[in-house]
């Protein structure tokens, strides 16, 4: 793990959770505040209905809140959507954009994701920009080309002046229990780092790159020790305080 970058462990609750789930947040807060101080920055991205509660409850334990998506426009006739400014008003400091499930389920394109990232930065949020290849793209030998293309088209030029986070998601490993080898993870993260440095210079050298493919308590320490893996974007394991804390502690 790159020592000059503060590690980030971000939990994406996806479409899970209710007010009853806040008990898990309370347990996580207790674990974070009673043991050794975590070496990682901890972010939880709950459903929008819980964003304000997570931001309020997490503030005393250092847990930061993030949204799971935002609209590219600041306001307007967009029924059911939320602007980046609304997320910030609810207490968010981060927002995920371009998650593989948004790309697949909602047909989001790289230019659309870029616009959302720009909107997030304009509202004072730090975007967590997701990129990653499908199983067919990897099996056909195009994984690095796909990821490079997404990185170029999804990340705004303004990322050279603003703080962003990149999350690499091998789509074929999300929720499947299948995990890339350490060499495959290292190779892709090294490639992403090289592209960031080529485009943004020193800023690209210090941009966190998270791994987002089925991180679990059992494999967290091994994955987080890989060069240029600066943390994780965690799905299901972030819903349970003890599992998430184990991952945070693996940094």
Reading the block at residue 163, the tokens are 């703080």
- Residue of 99, 108, 118, 133 marked catalytic: 99
**Residue carrying the six token digits 């290849």:** 133
* Nearest residue to 1 via CA among 200, 184, 232, 235: 232
Token pair for 193: 């780092």
Which residue bears the tokens 């999804």?
A: 154
DSSP 116-139: HHHHHHHTTPEEEEEE---HHHHH
Tell which residue, 220, 212, 216, has the closest CA to residue 250. 220
Catalytic residue among 24, 118, 169, 189: 169
Distances in Å between the Cα of 137 and the Cα atoms of 27, 30, 31, 145 are 40, 42, 40, 9
169 assigned to active site: yes
How many residues would you count in the chain? 251
Catalytic sites, residue numbers: 99, 169
């Amino acid at each position: 793990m790159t020592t000059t970058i503060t590690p980030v462990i971000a939990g994406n609750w996806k479409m899970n959770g209710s007010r009853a789930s806040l008990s898990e947040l309370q347990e996580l807060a207790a674990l974070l505040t009673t043991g050794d101080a975590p070496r990682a920055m901890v972010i939880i991205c709950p459903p929008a209905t819980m964003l304000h509660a997570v931001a309020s409850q997490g503030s005393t334990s250092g847990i930061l809140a993030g949204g799971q998506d935002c609209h590219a426009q600041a306001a307007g006739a967009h029924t059911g959507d939320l602007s980046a400014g609304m997320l910030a008003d609810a207490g968010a400091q981060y927002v995920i954009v371009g998650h593989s499930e948004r790309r697949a389920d909602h047909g989001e394109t790289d230019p659309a994701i870029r616009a959302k990232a720009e909107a997030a930065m304009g509202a004072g949020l730090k975007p967590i920009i997701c990129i990653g290849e499908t199983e067919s793209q990897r099996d056909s030998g195009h994984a690095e080309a796909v990821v490079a293309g997404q990185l170029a088209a999804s990340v705004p030029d303004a990322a050279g002046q603003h703080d962003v986070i990149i999350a690499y998601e091998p789509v074929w490993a999300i929720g499947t229990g299948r995990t890339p080898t350490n060499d495959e993870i290292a190779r892709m993260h090294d490639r992403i780092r090289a592209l960031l440095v080529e485009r943004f210079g020193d800023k690209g050298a210090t941009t966190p790159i998270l791994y987002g493919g089925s991180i679990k308590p059992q494999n967290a320490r091994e994955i987080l020790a890989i060069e240029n893996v600066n943390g994780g974007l965690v799905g299901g394991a972030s819903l349970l305080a003890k599992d998430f804390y184990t991952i945070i502690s693996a940094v």
